[in-house]
Amino acid sequence: MKNFKAVFSVILKSAFRRNKGGRGVSAIVAIVILSLVFGAYSLMTAFLIAPAFSMATDDGLGGNFSAFIVFITTIANVLFALIPLVTTLYMSKDNEILLALPVKSSTVFLARILYVYLTQLFFTLVMVLPMIVVFGVWAKMSVAFYFFMTLWCALAPFIALVVASVLAVPIMYLASLFKNKGVITSIALIVLFTVFFGAYYALFFNMNGSAFDPNNVYGALKPVLESITYPLAPFVAMGRTAVLSPETAFGTLGVVGAEAVNVAISLAVCAVAIFAALAISGFLYRRGVAFMLESAGVAKKNAKREDRKTSAKKRSILSVMMSREIKTLLRNTAFAFNCLGTMPILVVFAVVFSFSFSGDKSLGGFAFGTVYAMITGMAVSFNVGACTTFTREGEQFFLLKSIPVDIRVVIRAKHIVYSLITSIFYLIAEVATVFITRSSPLYVLGALPGIALIAGVSAMDMLFDLRKPKLDWITPTEAVKNNTNTLIPMFISLGLIVVLIGGFALGIVLLPAYSTFVGFGFTLLVAIVSLAVFVPILYNKGPAMIRAIE
């Protein structure tokens, strides 16, 4: 244990310190921006749901609702902890050197777990604290609510780490059966992620009539809340402690006794979770690291074999570079998850939004336009792949510069790949929207200006990344998260939603009968502008920008 502080501080410094040699903003700035965005989003959601929470407390379901919040927090943590856990524990580049030092592997393990826990805790609190405050004030809760909810949500990452460390085993094992383990792991995770978010959004928005009527929200939630008492008993025990009121807490001994039991159960659950998380992943840690270290060389060999295969087929250089881009993206689980995980979510959004907006009769013909603008705006802003394509190369970036391939071909391959991937999911989302909102099949044509916009904005994303790629990452997660190269383009793209909705609004004012097509035309205009501005810059200035990076 005596080296714990030294190891932990080295891990922290490596993760958060700004690289003085290169340019680039420190991770701290990126984290602050990210937490502001998430915090604001959480605050908005909190205001939407707070009335339902208040109704639930009046109905005596406040404890179950609180339990539900802790449960959702835990599930979200499982999903978001899984990748950081697997990558920081098993795929960190410093694993080798730490093994050569006279440090117990349990010390390294604890330092890494603490690091994962603290990052998870930070984002959990950013997401949950606004909600706790809004709910608490809205439903006039006692101090117990704020105290216990914060406590249980702060411990939720630990409960999640148990599940994540258990899930990591079958995922790694399953992956080891296949030749391309990264690909299988990536797909498994993306499916898991989509299912979770699908369920989450379906729960909150899939209602008859307007989605934002608190009565409907509560109506939909009530049966869920009533049914969780037994299946989620440990969480319900935690939830009950949160609705302690001064009357019950200081009232008759019987009630105090019951509440004390709930607190005790909750603490016991957390203690067991912490112990189990440490025991399970600790037990697997040394093996997992050995497994990853020894299989690294095999992956290299496979890559060589594939190189030979491809050259034998004499494919065009462009398609070789494109398949290289896709393979490197899919093989690295952290990359695939962060870059592609949002893609199925786009489809989920399209479905959920279509249902909730088409139910709102007051919107009339505007419903399709609104959903279309949101889906298009999200499609362009979800393009994490394009925003990190050079950063993800890491040390390979310099290799890329030295291979005897025209660098413009490399740029074109990347641009096509990321425009294509997003466009495929976007097209599915668009078709789903047309179908669910029962719009004219002609509206599928709206995908064309949308795809043009995706191509234009992808070029912008790549330029942002090329301006100052963050090549010196140690864990892959660092390359794709906390990265300002993804945040600024994302902001700009989200702003596009408003602009595009404006186009449809303009249509309603100018040509009510053809408002949707005016909206499409407007989107096309924006797309052409983005194509005309960013694509020439990317293709003409890109090679020089790449050469300038050393």
Ligand X SMILES: Nc1ncnc2c1ncn2[C@@H]1O[C@H](COP(=O)(O)OP(=O)(O)O)[C@@H](O)[C@H]1O
d(CA 379, CA 82): 25
Our CB check for other proteins shows the closer of 1 and 253 to be 1
Assess 550 for contact with other proteins (CB under 8 A).
Answer: no
d(CA 318, CA 408): 10
Partner whose footprint covers residue 472, from other proteins, ligand X, none (CB < 5 to 8 Å by kind): other proteins
Distance in Å, CB of 292 to other proteins, minimum: 11
The structure tokens listed for 516 are 């949707």
Our CB check for other proteins shows the closer of 5 and 541 to be 5
Distance in Å, CB of 21 to other proteins, minimum: 4
C-alpha closest to that of 374 among 385, 386, 363, 390: 363
18-57: contacts with other proteins (CB under 8 A): 18-22
Assess 3 for contact with other proteins (CB under 8 A).
Answer: yes
Partner whose footprint covers residue 133, from ligand X, other proteins, none (CB < 5 to 8 Å by kind): none
Distance in Å, CB of 286 to other proteins, minimum: 9
For helices 27-58 and 105-138, angle between their N-to-C axes, nearest 10 degrees: 50
d(CA 372, CA 308): 45
Our CB check for ligand X shows the closer of 294 and 550 to be 294
C-alpha closest to that of 310 among 327, 335, 329: 327
Our CB check for other proteins shows the closer of 3 and 323 to be 3
Partner whose footprint covers residue 19, from other proteins, ligand X, none (CB < 5 to 8 Å by kind): other proteins
List interacting residues with ligand X (CB under 6 A).
294, 296-298
Is the separation of the CB atoms in 380 and 408 below 8 Å?
no
DSSP 67-130: HHHHHHHHHHHHHHHHHHHHHHHHS-TTHHHHHHSS--HHHHHHHHHHHHHHHHHHHHHHHHHH
C-alpha closest to that of 388 among 398, 377, 379, 397: 397
How far from chain centre, in Å, is Cα 343?
Answer: 10
Our CB check for ligand X shows the closer of 199 and 303 to be 303
3-state per-residue secondary structure call for 340-405: HCHHHHHHHHHHHHHHHHHHCHHHCCHHHHHHHHHHHHHHHHCCHHHHCCCHHHCCHHHHHHHCCC
C-alpha closest to that of 487 among 471, 500, 472, 470: 470
Distance in Å, CB of 308 to ligand X, minimum: 16
Partner whose footprint covers residue 170, from other proteins, ligand X, none (CB < 5 to 8 Å by kind): none
Our CB check for other proteins shows the closer of 10 and 303 to be 10
Is the separation of the CB atoms in 430 and 372 below 8 Å?
yes
- Per CB under 8 A, which region of 3-11, 113-121, 270-278, 414-422 contacts other proteins? 3-11
For helices 447-467 and 515-548, angle between their N-to-C axes, nearest 10 degrees: 20
Cβ neighbours of residue 365 under 8 Å, at least 6 residues apart?
508, 512, 515, 516
Is the separation of the CB atoms in 148 and 238 below 8 Å?
yes
Partner whose footprint covers residue 100, from ligand X, other proteins, none (CB < 5 to 8 Å by kind): other proteins
Partner whose footprint covers residue 468, from ligand X, other proteins, none (CB < 5 to 8 Å by kind): none
- Per CB under 8 A, which region of 92-100, 202-210, 355-363, 427-435 contacts other proteins? 92-100
Partner whose footprint covers residue 291, from ligand X, other proteins, none (CB < 5 to 8 Å by kind): other proteins
d(CA 338, CA 186): 10
Partner whose footprint covers residue 99, from ligand X, other proteins, none (CB < 5 to 8 Å by kind): other proteins
Distance in Å, CB of 512 to other proteins, minimum: 59
Distance in Å, CB of 307 to other proteins, minimum: 17
Our CB check for ligand X shows the closer of 95 and 516 to be 95
Contacting other proteins (CB under 8 A), which of 40, 41, 96, 319?
96
| Other beta carbons within 10 Å of 33 | 17
Assess 472 for contact with other proteins (CB under 8 A).
Answer: yes
279-318: contacts with other proteins (CB under 8 A): 290-291, 293-295, 297-298, 301
Partner whose footprint covers residue 213, from other proteins, ligand X, none (CB < 5 to 8 Å by kind): none
- How many residues of this chain bind other proteins (CB under 8 A)? 32
Residues making contact with other proteins (CB under 8 A): 3, 6-7, 10, 13-14, 17-22, 93-94, 96-97, 99-104, 290-291, 293-295, 297-298, 301, 472, 474
